[in-house]
């Protein structure tokens, strides 16, 4: 029951991020800032000092992307759900993730999404580092990035992706 409660809380938090950012952004759908994660001293406050130092040391430009920690295949909604539900807690900070899904522009943010088959979608936010050249909204993409603190809400985590690590599949 505790795990179920944590899962529900995580889903509510992930949904609230998606909903809360849906009305934000400029009229042309671009975000006019350079997207590099800021060091957030409170990001790992619930964890140990070891996780705090790991979190503050994440720089997407220096990560070794040849060492993928997790690969999420297209259609694997269980894995997308697991990450979306637990990344808020810092469980995946610093992990290199390769994920396939649909790039969707939601207000001022972008998400990698999967269709759950019941008319609803699940996903999590991603940010291109130093670029505004996002994939076409709704396109099928493969992203390779690192999870780190960032985003529009305190404590949020996102997948930071270098432009060269975006592969448009359709």
Dump pLDDT digits (tens) for 79-117.
999 998 888 888 899 999 999 999 999 888 999 999 988
Beta strand 140-149 pairing with 121-128:
unpaired
- At 152 the pLDDT is 65
Six-digit token pair at 27?
Answer: 């009229």
Nearest-angstrom CA–CA distance, 146 and 153: 18
| Residue 160, strand partner residues | 127, 146
User: Which structural domain range is residue 13 located in?
Assistant: 2-168
- At 62 the pLDDT is 94
Pair 128, 35: CB distance under 8 Å: yes
Phi, psi angle pair for 91, to nearest 5°: -60, -25
DSSP string, 3-68: HHHHHHHHHHHHHHHHHHHTT-S-TTS---S---PPP-TTTTTTS-HHHHHHHHT--TTT--TTS-
- At 56 the pLDDT is 52
Would you call 155 helix, strand, or coil by DSSP? coil
Any residues with CB less than 8 A from the CB of 112 and at least 6 apart, and which? 80, 99, 101, 102, 103, 104, 123, 124, 126, 141, 143, 159
DSSP string, 104-116: EEETTEEEEEEE-
Dump pLDDT digits (tens) for 131-151.
999 999 999 999 999 999 986
Beta strand 121-128 pairing with 96-106:
unpaired
Question: How many folded domains does the chain comprise?
Answer: 1
Phi, psi angle pair for 4, to nearest 5°: -65, -40
- What's the CATH number where 126 sits? 2.40.50.140
pLDDT at 2 over 60: no
- Tell which residue, 46, 55, 66, 59, has the closest CA to residue 6: 46
């Amino acid at each position: 029951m505790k795990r179920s409660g944590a899962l529900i809380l995580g889903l509510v938090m992930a949904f609230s991020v998606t909903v809360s950012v849906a009305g934000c952004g400029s009229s042309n759908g671009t975000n006019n800032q350079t997207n590099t994660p800021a060091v957030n001293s409170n990001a790992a406050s619930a964890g140990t000092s070891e996780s705090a130092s790991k979190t503050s040391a994440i720089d997407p430009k220096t990560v070794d992307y040849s060492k993928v920690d997790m690969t999420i295949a297209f259609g694997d909604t269980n894995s997308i759900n697991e990450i979306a539900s637990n990344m808020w807690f810092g469980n995946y900070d610093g992990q290199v993730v390769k994920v396939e899904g649909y790039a969707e522009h939601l207000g001022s943010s972008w998400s990698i999404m999967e269709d759950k088959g019941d008319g609803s979608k699940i996903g999590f936010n991603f940010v291109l580092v130093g670029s505004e050249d996002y994939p076409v909204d709704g396109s099928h993409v493969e992203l390779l990035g690192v999870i780190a603190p960032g985003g529009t809400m305190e404590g949020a985590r996102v997948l930071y992706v270098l432009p060269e690590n975006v592969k448009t599949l359709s």
